[in-house]
Amino acid sequence: MASIRIPTESDFDSLTPQLTTSLVFPSPRESTTVILILFHGLGDSESSFASFARSLNLPGVLAISVRGTAPLPPVLVGDLDSSGPGGPRHFHWGDDLRLSDGGDLDTDPGFEKAQHLILDRLVGEVLIGNCGWEVADILLFGFGQGGSFALGLASRVRDGLKVSELEEGNGDERRGKAFKGVISIGGPLPNSMVPTVSSREKSRTPVLICHGRESESIDEDVVDVIKKEFTDVQVVEWKKKNDGMPESREEVLPMMRFFAECLRS
């Protein structure tokens, strides 16, 4: 079993090119006690959420902003120069891009590839296996599709995360069944990431859902589904209509309170 240590940039080299991350360390680095993983929305990238993490400036929190696991087709974003030196600039988390019956992009395209890269590789291999952290040391934050994916990860991990530390040759296994907390802004729980066992227990990961008063993604039925799968669910309805990222103190405050509650636990 690895002793606990603060991750360094080189710890994430083994994830490339499948997974790209941007790290935001607290000051000093040695003050790190919690890890926050951030998932951007459909068509965004990790750089904007790294900037968001810097603006949060949570004490003792190492923020890991992750790039979506697949690029959006240029035709969807008008990104005609995505094949240039900089490469694609708009990403998503789904296994595919599907259209719903109404002609909109399906909110649950399946997340098996992204789930493997985050739960098995980033969390299991790097943070737990190599650096000695626990699932309960990790917070999740996501917006839109990234929020759905974050909820799905918290739903999945209730089955237990097994880490075999093969490099030590002892087959040691460590399990975690709940993250420290998860925030989803405008992202519903994807049914594809809910365990199919009928006798499943609720996830013990604390949840905060934030959404606009005229949200197209979050309504009472969606909240009821989330509450059926999680024991602790808080819901905040903003005064603004849409589910955009928080812009005012009034919108940020519930998130900061939730972070504070999680950090104290």
| 49-59: pLDDT as tens digits | 999 999 999 99
CA-closest candidate to residue 2, choices 154, 242, 174, 253: 174
Instruction: Assess whether pLDDT exceeds 70 at residue 158.
Output: yes
Give me the DSSP letters along 126-186.
IIIIIT---GGGEEEEEETHHHHHHHHHHHHGGG---EE-GGGTS--EE-----SEEEEES
Residue 153 located in a structural domain: yes
Give me the DSSP letters along 107-126.
S----HHHHIIIIIIIIIII
Residue 85 located in a structural domain: no
- State the pLDDT confidence band at 45, using cuts at 50, 70 and 90: very high
- Calpha distance 64→61 (Å, rounded): 10
End-to-end CA separation in angstroms for the chain: 24
Residues 6+ apart with CB under 8 A from 198: none
Residue 27 CB burial class (10 angstroms; 0-12, 13-18, ≥19): exposed
CB-based contact 23:224 (threshold 8 Å): no
Residue 116 located in a structural domain: yes
- State the pLDDT confidence band at 8, using cuts at 50, 70 and 90: very high
Mean residue pLDDT across the chain? 90
β pairing state of 181-185 and 207-211: parallel
CATH classification at residue 179: 3.40.50.1820
Instruction: Assess whether pLDDT exceeds 50 at residue 167.
Output: no
Residue 150 located in a structural domain: yes
For range 161-184, the mean pLDDT: 66
Q: How many domains does the chain have?
A: 1
Q: Between 6 and 169, whose confidence is greater?
A: 6
CA-closest candidate to residue 114, choices 156, 61, 174, 175: 156
Instruction: Assess whether pLDDT exceeds 70 at residue 116.
Output: yes
- State the pLDDT confidence band at 166, using cuts at 50, 70 and 90: very low
Most confident of 45-49, 100-104, 165-169: 45-49
Residue 57 located in a structural domain: yes
Residue 88 located in a structural domain: no
Residue 37 located in a structural domain: yes
Residue 96 located in a structural domain: no
Question: In which domain, by residue range, is 195 found?
Answer: 9-72+106-264
